[in-house]
């Protein structure tokens, strides 16, 4: 059994082990594969029966030119990099990892919020530059400092990560509102289910935890921002395409949105002309909320279990049944 991992570096830059996959077949691991070179992707897969990808696209041309392909595993929750309809037509199951980074992403979301409230990194840098030792007073701060207790956080998308974020926010004394566009009823005792317009109007902080769908693409735009409080804080550790970036940049620069903490943008790696790079009070991190070692280890183990289940004839987490 030939197994090819097309872009293994972000999952395992050297602090984890691929040995579990080696026990299941002859393994080839590429750190990176060009996302735009379809012929190169086909060449790397070659005659392999198993392909594992994170962000390398497996499109129709790849699937139709890799005749031995029997299984596609995605090293992520999102699977839009795979043409799942073509894979289904060729009887190739596509699996994803539905949950692995819940606690890591929730923790990171709150870390972004706390950085906005206290500017810890900035003030640490200021101290190391010598500003404190030269200061006339026993303390100083360059930005307004903010206490979260008593403020309202609105969480859009109340799956595992949204709920984990809500619990941390609640522990900080915040009142939690949430909006969830799912038919199932959620009635936690630590949060209040509200309509989206009420969430926009009432929240001091808004945190995005919803999937990217046609209805959520650019949901944070000029119109929705106009319905928010002046001085709202916006957090996004979900998908960059949820935000119309030019609209958010304008709102940050005008002060309508006080600050944003973003771990994702519409195109990654970020383009140098992304308007958010030049916006006021905008923290941007390079899509790392998911990346603590503990989280990546869980992802590795889940990907292995997906492959073992397929090899045993009972595939799980199949997204193209």
Q: Please, what is the end-to-end C-alpha distance for the chain in angstroms?
A: 23
Active-site hit among 123, 239, 296, 298: 239
Residues 6+ apart with CB under 8 A from 18: 5, 8, 12, 27, 29
3 state DSSP class of 305: helix
Residue pLDDT, tens place only, 209-229: 999 999 999 999 999 999 999
- pLDDT value for 181: 84
Catalytic residue status for 239: yes
Strand partners, 94: 72
Q: Do domains 2-100+293-311 and 102-284 have the same CATH topology?
A: yes
Domain boundaries of the chain, sorted by first residue: 2-100+293-311, 102-284
Cα–Cα dist 179/260, whole Å: 20
Q: Distance of alpha carbon 56 from its chain centroid, rounded?
A: 17
Strand partners, 28: 4
Residue pLDDT, tens place only, 20-49: 999 999 999 999 999 999 999 999 999 999
Residue pLDDT, tens place only, 134-177: 999 999 999 999 999 999 999 999 999 999 999 999 999 999 99
Catalytic residue status for 280: no
195, 203, 263, 207: which is closest to 231 by C-alpha? 203
Mean residue pLDDT of the chain comes to 97
Active-site hit among 129, 195, 268, 294: 268
0.85 exceeded by the pTM? Answer: yes
Q: Distance of alpha carbon 293 from its chain centroid, rounded?
A: 16
Residue pLDDT, tens place only, 225-244: 999 999 999 999 999 999 99
3 state DSSP class of 268: coil
pLDDT band at 255 (very low <50, low <70, confident <90, very high): very high
Angle (CA) 79-84-87 rounded to 5° is 130
- pLDDT value for 184: 60
Catalytic residue status for 182: no
Active-site hit among 287, 301, 305, 308: 287
CATH superfamily of 2-100+293-311: NAD(P)-binding Rossmann-like Domain (3.40.50.720)
For the 102-284 domain, the top CATH level (class) is alpha beta
């Amino acid at each position: 059994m030939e197994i090819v991992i097309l872009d293994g570096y972000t999952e395992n830059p050297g602090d984890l082990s691929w040995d579990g996959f080696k026990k299941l077949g002859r393994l080839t691991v590429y750190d990176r594969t060009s996302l735009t070179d379809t012929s190169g992707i086909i060449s790397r897969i070659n005659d392999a029966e198993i392909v594992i990808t994170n962000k390398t696209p497996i499109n129709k041309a790849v699937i139709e030119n890799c005749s031995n392909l029997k299984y596609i595993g995605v090293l992520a929750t999102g699977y839009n990099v795979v043409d799942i309809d073509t894979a289904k037509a060729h009887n190739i199951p596509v699996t994803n990892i539905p949950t692995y980074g819940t606690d890591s992403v929730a923790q990171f979301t709150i870390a972004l919020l706390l950085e906005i409230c206290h500017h810890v990194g900035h003030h640490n840098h200021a101290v190391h530059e010598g500003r404190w030792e030269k200061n006339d007073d026993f303390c100083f701060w360059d930005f307004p400092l903010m206490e979260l207790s008593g403020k309202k956080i609105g969480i859009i998308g109340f799956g595992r990560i949204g709920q984990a974020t809500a619990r941390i926010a609640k522990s900080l004394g915040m009142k939690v509102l949430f909006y969830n566009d799912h038919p199932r009823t959620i009635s936690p005792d630590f949060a209040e289910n509200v309509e989206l317009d009420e969430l926009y109007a009432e929240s001091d902080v808004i945190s995005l935890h919803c999937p990217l769908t046609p209805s959520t693409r650019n949901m944070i735009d000029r119109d929705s921002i106009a319905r928010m409080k002046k001085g709202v804080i916006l957090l996004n550790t979900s998908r960059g395409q949820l935000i119309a970036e030019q609209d958010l940049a304008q709102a940050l620069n005008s002060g309508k949105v006080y600050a944003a903490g973003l771990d994702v943008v519409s195109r990654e790696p970020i383009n140098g002309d992304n308007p958010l790079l030049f916006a006021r009070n905008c923290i941007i991190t390079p899509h790392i909320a998911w990346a603590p070692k503990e989280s990546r280890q869980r992802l590795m183990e889940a990907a292995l279990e997906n492959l073992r289940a397929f090899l045993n004839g009972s595939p799980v987490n199949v997204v193209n049944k």
